[in-house]
Amino acid sequence: MSLIREIAITPIAIVDPPLLNAAGLHAPYALRTIVEIVTDDGISGISEIPGTREIDLALAEARDLLIGKDVFQLSDIRRTLVGHFGHDTAAERGVAPWDQRKMVHIFSAVEVACLDIIGKIMNRPVVDLLGGRMRDEVPFSAYLFYKYEGAGGEWAFGTDPDATGWAAARQKSALNPAEIVEQARAMCAEFGFQSIKLKGGVFEPRQEVDAILALREAFGPDVPLRIDPNALWRVETAIEYGKEMEGVLEYLEDPVRGQENMAAVRKALKTPLATNMCTTSFEDIPRSIELGSEDIILSDHHFWGGLRASMTLSGLCDTFGRGLSMHSNSHLGISLAAMVHLGAALPEVPYALDTHYPWQSDEVIVGGRMKFENGAVKVPDGPGLGVELDRDALARLHQNYLKCGLTKRDDLVEMRKKVPDWEFMLTRW
C-alpha cells in the first residue's frame, strides 16, 4: 500500500503565440494545471492537464476525498470521484474545439500522477503499466496554425528581436498558403516531422484547401497531410472540398459538426474522416458505430479520463474497425511524456500523433524542453513518467498565472481584442 498524503494543485500560465482557430485566437498565455501527489512513504507523482479555475476548484474538492487512498486502487479512486461529481454528460463537453468536462480531467490528473508513483515503486516506466512497450519512440506530426505575427507572453503581438531559428520562425505571421508552407518548412526542419496537420476553420475553405495543395506541392506525395476545420464547414462544403482533396489527404479531421453530418460526408468521400469533436466519449461510441461517423478517433488522455481509459478506447477501436490517433492542446513536457508512454503502449500507431509542443517555449520539467528526432520522441528513461518537476520553473509559471489574470481559455474574447465584432459560429461555411 502507498497512501496519498498530499495533493498539490498548481495552476500555471505558459507563453502561447497568437494562433488562430475556429473559435478565435489563442491568448498570450495558455493555462495548465500541474498536479503533484505525494504518498505517505514520500514518493511523488506528477501530471498536467488543461487549466481552468473551475476544474482547479473541483480538484481541490477531490483532494479531501483522496487523501488516505492507496495509489494502486485506481478503480476505487475513480468510483469515489464519480460518486461525488457524477458522470460527465456529453453536453458538458461544450461546442468549442476543446473539451470542458470535469470528471475526465480530474481523473486523468489523478490517474497519471498515481501511475507515475506506481512506476517509481515498481521501478518500471508507465508504458509497462499500460500493457508494455510496443515501440521505443513515438511519431508526432507537424501542427501548423494560421497566426498573426508575434510571439506570446510578454511579447503579446510583438516580436522578440533576439529570437533565432525556429523561435524566430514561430513569430512570423501565417495568413496565406505561402506563409503556411514557410511555417511548415521551418517546423519540419527543426523537429523532423514527417506528417503535417493544418488547423483550419479560420479562412474560407478555398484559401485553406489551397494551403493544403501548396503543402502537397512543396512536400510531395510522401508526406501525409491533414486539415482540421473544427466542424465549421457545411456538409456540401465538406463534400465539395473533400472531393478536391481526395488522394491528397491522409485524413480529413472534423470537417462538419455532429455524428450525423460526419456520417453523411464520410459516405460521399473515399478519404478517411477523423474526429476529436463528434465521438468524444465512451457514450458516443454506440451511435458512432450505428451511423459510421468517422474512421479514426483522436483520443486524448486528458479528455477520455486517463491513460488506461485511452487503452480501453484502443481496444474498442480495434473491435469496431476504427483507427486511433491522438489529439493535443497547448501543453508542456509532463503531458508530452504521458502521451509518449501511451503512444508506446498502443498496439498500433498508424498515424503520427498531434502535438502543440513546438509552439511552446516554457517547460516545467528538469532538463528543459523534450527532444524530437525525426519527428519522434523517445520514451523517457527511468521509472514512472521519467520526468521530474522543476520547482523553480513551476514557481515562475505560477507567478505568470497570477499576473496574467486569466482563469479559463476563451479564444472568442481574445479574438475580439483584434476583431471587435467577431462572433463564434457553430457552422461558418
Ligand X SMILES: O=C([O-])C(=O)C[C@H](O)[C@@H](O)C(=O)[O-]
Residues that bind Mg ion (CB under 5 A): 228, 253, 276
SS3 100: coil
CB under 6 A: which stretch of 124-132, 218-226, 326-334, 367-375 binds ligand X?
Answer: 326-334
The one among 32, 102, 302, 327 contacting ligand X by CB under 6 A: 327
- DSSP string for residues in 116-138: HHHHHHHT-BHHHHTT--S-SEE
The three cell numbers locating residue 73: 486502487
Measured CA to CA, the distance from residue 212 to residue 180 in angstroms comes to 9
Q: How many residues does the chain have?
A: 429
- The distance of closest approach from Cβ of residue 135 to ligand X in the complex, given in angstroms and rounded to an integer, is 23
H or E element, residue 55: helix 53-66
Measured CA to CA, the distance from residue 165 to residue 171 in angstroms comes to 10
Report residue 340 CA to chain centroid gap: 12
Measured CA to CA, the distance from residue 61 to residue 106 in angstroms comes to 10
- The distance of closest approach from Cβ of residue 202 to ligand X in the complex, given in angstroms and rounded to an integer, is 10
Nearer of residues 95 and 402 to Mg ion, judged by Cβ? 95
The one among 33, 47, 230, 355 contacting ligand X by CB under 6 A: 230
* Strand spans (E) along 372-422: 376-378
H or E element, residue 12: strand 4-15
- The distance of closest approach from Cβ of residue 37 to Mg ion in the complex, given in angstroms and rounded to an integer, is 30
The three cell numbers locating residue 164: 533565432
Nearer of residues 357 and 389 to ligand X, judged by Cβ? 357
With CB under 5 to 8 Å by kind, the binding choice for 52 among ligand X, Mg ion, none is none
Active site residue 327: yes
Return the residue nearest ligand X (CB atom): 21
Q: How many residues bind ligand X (CB under 6 A)?
A: 13
Nearer of residues 44 and 330 to ligand X, judged by Cβ? 330
Residue in 26, 120, 197, 199 annotated catalytic: 199
Measured CA to CA, the distance from residue 351 to residue 218 in angstroms comes to 21
Q: Are 121 and 113 contacting, i.e. CB atoms less than 8 angstroms apart?
A: no
Contact mark string toward ligand X, 236..275, x via CB under 6 A: ----------------------------------------
H or E element, residue 241: helix 235-244
Q: Does 351 bind ligand X (CB under 6 A)?
A: no
Measured CA to CA, the distance from residue 109 to residue 73 in angstroms comes to 15
Nearer of residues 2 and 325 to ligand X, judged by Cβ? 325
Residue in 26, 327, 331, 341 annotated catalytic: 327
Q: Are 304 and 111 contacting, i.e. CB atoms less than 8 angstroms apart?
A: no
With CB under 5 to 8 Å by kind, the binding choice for 98 among ligand X, Mg ion, none is ligand X
Nearer of residues 122 and 426 to ligand X, judged by Cβ? 426
The one among 29, 98, 146, 357 contacting ligand X by CB under 6 A: 98
Measured CA to CA, the distance from residue 144 to residue 122 in angstroms comes to 39
Nearer of residues 84 and 172 to ligand X, judged by Cβ? 172
The one among 17, 18, 51, 97 contacting ligand X by CB under 6 A: 97
Active site residue 102: no
β 196-199/142-145 pair status: parallel
Q: Does 329 bind ligand X (CB under 6 A)?
A: yes
With CB under 5 to 8 Å by kind, the binding choice for 199 among ligand X, Mg ion, none is ligand X
With CB under 5 to 8 Å by kind, the binding choice for 329 among ligand X, Mg ion, none is ligand X
Measured CA to CA, the distance from residue 295 to residue 335 in angstroms comes to 25
Q: Does 199 bind ligand X (CB under 6 A)?
A: yes
Q: Does 276 bind ligand X (CB under 6 A)?
A: yes
The three cell numbers locating residue 274: 477523423
Q: Does 171 bind ligand X (CB under 6 A)?
A: no
Q: Does 357 bind ligand X (CB under 6 A)?
A: no
Which residue carries 509518449 as its cell? 340
Measured CA to CA, the distance from residue 38 to residue 117 in angstroms comes to 8
β 225-228/249-253 pair status: parallel
Nearer of residues 129 and 326 to ligand X, judged by Cβ? 326
Nearer of residues 120 and 331 to ligand X, judged by Cβ? 331
The one among 21, 44, 171, 310 contacting ligand X by CB under 6 A: 21
Q: Please give the positions annotated as active site.
A: 199, 327
Q: List interacting residues with ligand X (CB under 6 A).
A: 19, 21, 97-98, 199, 228, 230, 276, 327-330, 356
